[in-house]
Amino acid sequence: MTRAALHSATRRQRVAILGSTGSIGANTLDVIARHPERFEVFGLTSHRRVAELVEQCVRFSPRIAVLPDRAAARQARQALAERGCPTEVLEGPQALCQLAAAPEVDAVMAAIVGAAGLPACMAAAAAGKRLLLANKEALVVGGALFMRAVAAGGATLLPIDSEHSAIFQCLPEDRSTWGERIDHIVLTASGGPFRGRAPESLHGVTPDEAVAHPNWVMGRKISVDSATMMNKALEVIEARWLFDLAPEQVHVVIHPQSIVHSMVVCRDASVLAQLGTPDMRVPIAFGLSFPERIESGAARLDFTALQGLHFEPVDLRLFPGLALAWQALAAPPGTTAVLNAANEVAVQAFLDGTIRFTGIHSVNARTVERLAPALPAEATLEDLLELDRRARDEAAANVRALSPA
């Protein structure tokens, strides 16, 4: 019996899901519900969706739920009391970090969108948790600091983004052999809803058009990132840190079917690829059960039904934001954090109707150009969060410059 199998046979794995009411969180709960003998929900958190969090608590009976402020927590406590649910409700960013580092927690699903998830990810890493990382911004913003926390805490870091999970699944468990095996990696991208469009046609794109992804069901922010391909820019940065690669070793190719989730090109020219239906429950199940495999609920891939697998280069005239990934990685440390903050502000401004779709790239590029980070050699979490704040201020100013009078 393997160590993992012995552990699962003696005690259920206790899981905390940070961002449980988002698409990743909901899919994680779906996988957990399929394996009640292996997993127990210890904690759930949400930013705004109080009613949905309450329903999750009633169903899964976690010990702890966390909401961002006193008003939301009060609302949840009242609703849970009326339903007879004993879940303890905590509030605030510190409670989020306390849950991520709680001694009772075995695994943390980090599914909070954006830089807001970094402190809790750092807390989980420092506490040596099995950290299922769906929050790519933790690496985009945290970079070397985050990876040092993982190493120092003895955490097990498992990527949940479908592309990075695919790369991880193609590599041996012994990380020390990765450098001698990898020539480069290829992250696949669907091309989103605007693949094949003329660049000049994107000026009038609406938020509803931008979030209508052809293959994946995701939150609005991530869906817009897919439409601009800024999600892939962030994934390039994430991959550089996850797999300890030079930026030029991370390539991107358009693959409209989203069947090949990513590839490793080895030094001998062999190509290792991970394939499957586009369903986030697959990488989630892999992360929860690693190094074993469990049933995910996803449909099996039927090769006889495939019409073909197509690949094409990225049109940087249509997706100019992708090039910002390599530019930021080549710039002074902290530039990737500036890029991430700018993009969060710009996407929200677009969703709010303040700027046009094409204005997202303009805000991102201007912010990176105008704000040169000056981080100390050994930057702390506080240094990065202050840089994030400054970048958001600069991005907001750039949004105002683009907004109609």
Please report whether residue 322 resides in a domain: no
Tokens of 273: 């690829």
CA distance 253 to 20: 31
Q: Give the pLDDT band of residue 7 (cuts 50, 70, 90).
A: very low
Q: What three-state secondary structure class fits 186?
A: strand
pLDDT value of position 217: 64
Does the pLDDT value for residue 219 go beyond 90?
no
Angle, CA 152 vertex, CA 10 and CA 373 arms, to 5°:
135
Q: What is the mean pLDDT of residues 340-355?
A: 96
Q: What is the mean pLDDT of residues 388-402?
A: 96
Does the pLDDT value for residue 10 go beyond 80?
no
Q: Give the pLDDT band of residue 1 (cuts 50, 70, 90).
A: very low
CATH number assigned to the domain comprising residue 137: 3.40.50.720
Stated pTM of the model: 0.91
pLDDT value of position 5: 44
For 48, the domain range is 3-160
Tokens of 156: 């097990």
**Do 75 and 94 form a contact (C-beta atoms < 8 A)?**
no
Please report whether residue 371 resides in a domain: no
Please report whether residue 31 resides in a domain: yes
Please report whether residue 184 resides in a domain: no
Calculate what percentage of the chain has a pLDDT beyond 90. 85
Please report whether residue 70 resides in a domain: yes
> Total domain count for the chain?
1
Structure letter (DSSP) for residue 373 = -
**Do 235 and 262 form a contact (C-beta atoms < 8 A)?**
no
Tokens of 206: 């609406």
Where are any strands of DSSP class E within 111-209? 130-133, 156-159, 182-189
Q: What three-state secondary structure class fits 72?
A: helix
Please report whether residue 46 resides in a domain: yes
Name the more confident of 220 and 12.
Answer: 12
Q: What is the mean pLDDT of residues 148-154?
A: 96
Does the pLDDT value for residue 307 go beyond 90?
no
Distance of CA 6 to the CA centre of its chain: 30
Please report whether residue 123 resides in a domain: yes
Q: Using one digit for the tens of pLDDT, what is the confidence trace for 280-291? A: 999 999 999 999
Please report whether residue 154 resides in a domain: yes
CA distance 285 to 288: 5
| N-terminal to C-terminal alpha carbon distance within the chain | 68
| Mean pLDDT lowest among 23-37, 209-223, 224-238, 330-344 | 209-223
Q: What is the mean pLDDT of residues 230-258?
A: 96
pLDDT value of position 405: 55
Packing angle of the helix pair 137-153, 230-242 (nearest 10 deg): 20
CA distance 230 to 232: 5
**Do 125 and 150 form a contact (C-beta atoms < 8 A)?**
yes
pLDDT value of position 216: 64
Q: What is the mean pLDDT of residues 174-199?
A: 93
